[in-house]
Structure 1
């Protein structure tokens, strides 16, 4: 586990009311997929999260083709999962790469993606993205700035990287009706690319003590639900590694006044789907897989189709039964998906299967991995 010292405790300057600091969807009336108000008048909410957006050269070229050669259009690429992301009260992605200055955008090994990715994410219904990854420093501090500027222009919130120290110390908070959701994000490393000595806060690095400190500070400032995104794990390994398991146990065990400090953990980085598990009463997704990526080769240099498989997690939260209590997950779901490299499209595998596509073996493999640590016994089901 990578650690980094901090000179001061997290300073939250976020305003937890309506306005620019919060992205609200409380204007939306109850509808299918949205929990109805409780007797107390509080409504629950649904949160959807998905895996790594990692545009390789072929993905960038596809977006250029979809735009007719005039810029880049990532909206068609992501349209296949909009039926899952858009209805959610809060939808979170993982933007693994940074945006380049153009016109020469690049894929592996140093990713510099077109900033139009942000527009595609917004059009798909994403409200926010984690941005801390091992590729966060691929284009230096300027890459981080360009990425966050583009996400801001598209109206997509972000957590995990920062342009200023103040931004790094400010929790990202989204609104879902009455609920205030803090989103925190961290990565295990930046592929050995150093952070500037005068800007060590630019990328959030995994440090157990810091994560707990940040989560407690967000809760103290008024967050009802704390979601932590972690870029972690061993690439190409279906099973979570020992560091993932140990950190998940310790983070989910952390509590203040009998209430867990963290309500949901979302994992990325491994390139393949990994298990979901309820740990100490808190749901953990060890790895969602790559939502968007080119044809993937594993560490042996062999094409590995698992690198184009992923899941979306969908969690329904209910309001606390007593003041100051925990917002509880009352329904946990996963939606299997595939990135069709040839078509340049994200595919909802359950919907594809229903239309006669021969994808059952792929869908079932994802299901078996997701349920491999007993999540079905804790109520995890496969969603549409």
Structure 2
């Protein structure tokens, strides 16, 4: 009995072992060519619900506030002249060309950093021999060199505009235009004069300006008959003694300037007495005429030395008080008038102008000046240089100058004293902190 039971148990164990060795019923793997690809059409007809989340709101962009004001830095330099020694200095024997860029190389950091720069070009640029005082005829390269340092506008009505006659006046205009400079004060044709009634209009940084330019005389050179349009004159008796203001023409021109409705009217006047460091009665009389007729700013030249500048309050013809600005003279920006330190001293005038875009009121908010010194060979220079005085003084004091010696350094100190005495130390850009 026990033997049967043992046999039965053995059979059961064998059956269990055999059943565990049977392979699993798993599907066979087909070859790659036999694998079917499921395409969208093969998929189930019932798709999962689409996912369309609500887009998030775009971040809000703040619209910048429109500007409430615009500003302008308007600058001016004094008389630009080229005496014969300067012509020789500018001549390159190797090329046969003229180039004044060396003389102007040290001042361009100040002339190229303004919005609009004006110069008084006191010479002819005509055919023939180049000459200096008393009949100036300068190589046209000077006009290009002025453009290169940032000059935008040149006033041409001055006592040397007819040094080479009417034809020379026309050639000067052509050469100035070829250099890319704008100009006013002299005209080649009646049509040219009539196009704008002697007014040049400029707009910079959204501030519009109307410029006029007049000279007291023409060095006793009579304007040719039929060419009276060619020079804007401050006096009817322009051959002397300069006592009768040319009111009819000036008032007509200023009326036209006012009609243009510009933000500012600026008069560039060649006037006053030479080598005198203060304005005279005739300058004050002429200034009053222009201010009464709408001028906001007067920039003067001719004296070959500095004269005062500043704000004044005047009474208009309709009995309104008005604040205006006048600079009586900026001296010799570039020349070889070497009489004294005074004739070697000049300045760059900087006017700071602001226009309220809400009220459209335009104001001269302030001014300063950059003292300049004309270094010449006669006064110790190796060549001609227009020097910013503070830069030149600092170069010498720090031992980094190749052109300033002790004698020139002392001359610079004297020149700076002159500028401060006439124009005020408090308006020197260096002391204001606008280096």
With over 3 angstroms needed to count, the CA separation of the structure-2 counterparts of 1:134 and 1:156, relative to structure 1, is same
The separation in 2 between residues aligned to 1:38 and 1:229, in whole angstroms, is 38
1:144-183 matches, within 5 Å, as 144-169=169-194, 170=196, 171-183=199-211
Gap regions ≥5 residues in structure 2: 1-63, 235-245, 314-322, 378-382, 398-403
1:231-310 matches, within 5 Å, as 231-254=270-293, 261-280=294-313, 281-296=323-338, 303-310=339-346
1:214 correspondence with 2:253 = yes
Q: CA contact under 8 A between 1:336 and 1:363: conserved in structure 2?
A: yes
Q: CA contact under 8 A between 1:78 and 1:346: conserved in structure 2?
A: yes
Q: Which residue of 1 aligns with 2:14?
A: none
The separation in 2 between residues aligned to 1:193 and 1:95, in whole angstroms, is 18
Encode CA deviations 1:211-234: one digit per residue, 9 max, x unaligned: 343233123224222211100010
Higher helix proportion, which one?
2
CA drift of 1:305 comes to 3.2
With over 3 angstroms needed to count, the CA separation of the structure-2 counterparts of 1:191 and 1:295, relative to structure 1, is closer
Q: CA contact under 8 A between 1:335 and 1:382: conserved in structure 2?
A: no
The separation in 1 between residues aligned to 2:119 and 2:109, in whole angstroms, is 15
CA drift of 1:323 comes to 4.0
Q: 2:79 aligns with which of 42, 52, 61?
A: 52
With over 3 angstroms needed to count, the CA separation of the structure-2 counterparts of 1:212 and 1:282, relative to structure 1, is farther
The separation in 2 between residues aligned to 1:38 and 1:287, in whole angstroms, is 42
Q: Which residue of 1 aligns with 2:417?
A: 364
Q: CA contact under 8 A between 2:161 and 2:169: conserved in structure 1?
A: yes
Q: CA contact under 8 A between 1:208 and 1:251: conserved in structure 2?
A: no
With over 3 angstroms needed to count, the CA separation of the structure-2 counterparts of 1:294 and 1:382, relative to structure 1, is farther
Provide the aligned length of Structure 1 versus Structure 2.
Answer: 328
With over 3 angstroms needed to count, the CA separation of the structure-2 counterparts of 1:230 and 1:38, relative to structure 1, is farther
Q: 1:319 aligns with which of 350, 355, 379?
A: 355
TM-score normalised by the chain length of structure 1 = 0.80
Q: CA contact under 8 A between 1:110 and 1:139: conserved in structure 2?
A: yes
Encode CA deviations 1:245-280: one digit per residue, 9 max, x unaligned: 2222342244xxxxxx11211111001111112122
* Greater relative contact order structure (CA < 8 Å, 6+ sep): 1
Gap regions ≥5 residues in structure 1: 1-36, 255-260, 297-302
1:101 correspondence with 2:127 = yes
CA drift of 1:40 comes to 4.2
Q: Secondary structure at the match of 1:267?
A: strand
CA drift of 1:168 comes to 1.9
Q: Which residue of 1 aligns with 2:96?
A: 70
Q: Which residue of 2 aligns with 1:6?
A: none
TM-score normalised by the chain length of structure 2 = 0.71
The separation in 1 between residues aligned to 2:247 and 2:327, in whole angstroms, is 17
Q: Secondary structure at the match of 2:201?
A: strand
1:31-50 matches, within 5 Å, as 40-50=67-77
1:204 correspondence with 2:229 = no
